[in-house]
Structure 1
Amino acid sequence: MKIAVVRETREGETRVALVPELVGKLTALGYEVAVEPDAGRHALLADEEYAEAGAAVDADAVSTADVVLSVQPLDPSTVRRLRRGAATISFLPVNQERGLVVDLRDVGATAFAMELVPRISRAQSMDALSSQALVSGYRCAVVAAGMLRRFFPLNMTAAGTVQPAEVVVLGAGVAGLQTIATCKRLGAVVRAYDVRAAAAEEIRSMGAKAIELELETLEGAGGYAREMTEDRAARQMELLAPYVAAADALITTAAVPGRTAPRLVTAAMVEAMKPGSVVVDLAAESGGNVEGAVAGEVVRIGNASVWGGKNVPSSMPGPASRLYAQNVVNLLTLMTKDGAFAPDFEDEIVVGSCVTHDGAIRHEPTRAAIEGGATA
């Protein structure tokens, strides 16, 4: 059976779905591997490296493949080249890509979405959302340190003492905890907040101080926070305002896949920050935690520079690709039996991540939205 790795075509995407060092894992399972020319170029991976690892370099790899791997969803023209019954594995944000889901259904493709892999212990090695959040969290800390025109760490010199920067992190999931850890390694004083009860201990384990507000916690399914009411959101903003105002750098990382990011910080809160302050909003692409943040841009709000994240993992394509590729290989291994791609639709990981199969939409919320007449 043949696996094809496509060259990403969406603007700004620099990752690749398979790296040369993992080609051998797939050939050992019994697959032939082919990559489109220049598939790894933006991640600084040459075609020759893939060839040396045992992959073919083939411009027409998709049309004969049993399984097609990508980071971003395939474009419609590529979907039309799939042979009937072929499978795709990629990120596939179903709420934003309903037209593509219909195309995948109509060509008879079996499509798996990496963001739908269940958040269970057995699937941790396949959790691409977490692996990419790790990259994003690190990058956010580095961006904040680079934009802030002062030291992150304490410096004691003969000329006097330079106080450390004060950093506030909102959101303590995978990205938030990596942000905290990186800011701490850079020497900043870090305070952090998350609406989940378990997060306070995780924040402290990273060496930061947990901000504790007198509010109910919001534990949700799959390790994510559940949605808060307008009253609670307003009260939370009121209680967080003094911490934001005192920060040299504010980094926000709160997001839930497939939903609009929660608004945590108003423009008025940012305007109360000190001259030269920096705000980094990782969730800008999904609506933003910070009012006024713009994905892919740096805007000025009051005295602060506000950086809006856009496809942040692609700013570090090498490590992001390697982590993502390992997630994909682990998922493929689960779905391989006796050298053939044979997903077990009794397995909760397979069922949970499947969007289309055998001419039908299998992801029930998406099926209801599309076939129930909802528009994209």
Structure 2
Amino acid sequence: MRPIPAEDEGLPASDPLMLENGAPARWWHKLPDGRIQCDLCPRDCKLHEGQPGMCFVRQRIGNEMRLITYGRSSGFCIDPIEKKPLNHFFPGSSVFSFGTAGCNLACKFCQNWDISKSQEMDRLMAAASPCQIAEAASKREALSVAFTYNDPIIFAEYALDTADACHALGLKTVAVTAGYVHAEPRREFFAKMDAANVDLKAFTDEFYQQQTGSHLAPVLETLLHIQHRSSCWLEITTLLIPGLNDSTPELEALTAWVAKELGPDVPLHFSAFHPDYKMSGIATTPAATLRRARRIGLDKGLRYVYTGNLHDADGDTTFCPGCQAKLIERDWYDLLHYELDAEGKCPHCGSRIAGHFAPQVERGFGRRRIPVHIGRGQPT
């Protein structure tokens, strides 16, 4: 683990030097023209003195790159793991969730735009070191810690140090990300994640360019890396936006790629869009669209396809791929029925369900959202 900022050495969590200047960033190099280039993500931001990258949080200060949000967060809370969404990673468990501010994409439909697009970070931030976060999560008996709300790729150094602190206490780590990252930081980042939900925002580069200001290919590379070159558990979410990424041909191409390149056991979540940010004029995704997408995915050979942001009994349920028994029934984040052992085996036919499971889960954590305050001293 890289040295923790001074707060862990007895200084208050609001130490102005830590909050003002952040911590040294990794993955950058100097250019011949005097600028420095950020090598974290494919944007390759080239920065003059004092200039932040597109993400707002990685900034050139002097002759180095710094992560100015290291040790700061937009808030902490305990969530159900199903909210990430992760349906095959210890269903029913609780997860300690936090994020920072900023983002390296420019999604016009961002559902967390007040956080991801914020540049007024001092007004938003609570302060906590990696060890404080791990201790707070452990005290609250969370199974895992999630880097979420905004994309953890942009605060990778903070996330990785926190992952080390979490693993030292026996906690799991979860990343909720768009997966827009270069190869070297990708490898290091996902090596320390136990599970990830990656937003596959569409399956055309045109959509990525026009609606997010990025490209599809690096996201596909991230998905391939996680599934085939890491031990991180992978689930995928696609937010379906009427008229933009919900056509039958595109959904057929997307689900066929997932089934062929990642395998039929990767859970895929189709979620309903609601009007927000720069897309307030587009209607909410009809339930019929999500059910059509789910059927397309199942027809392409995917074993676990879910629908989100609506009440849909079948779309919330984990079915056995062998005998089609209902093994985990949910109502959004509530577990209504659960019958898997710790090995994830179906009690009816013995088929193993892909994922990570605990035995004897009853109702689980449910829909609660419990805010957590981390003060200057011990977590509360």
TM normalised by structure 2 equals 0.28
Q: Looking at both structures, which has the greater relative contact order when contacts are Cα pairs under 8 Å and sequence separation is at least 6?
A: 1
Normalising by structure 1, we get a TM-score of 0.28
User: Per residue, is there more helix in 1 or in 2?
Assistant: 1
Whose Rg is larger? 1
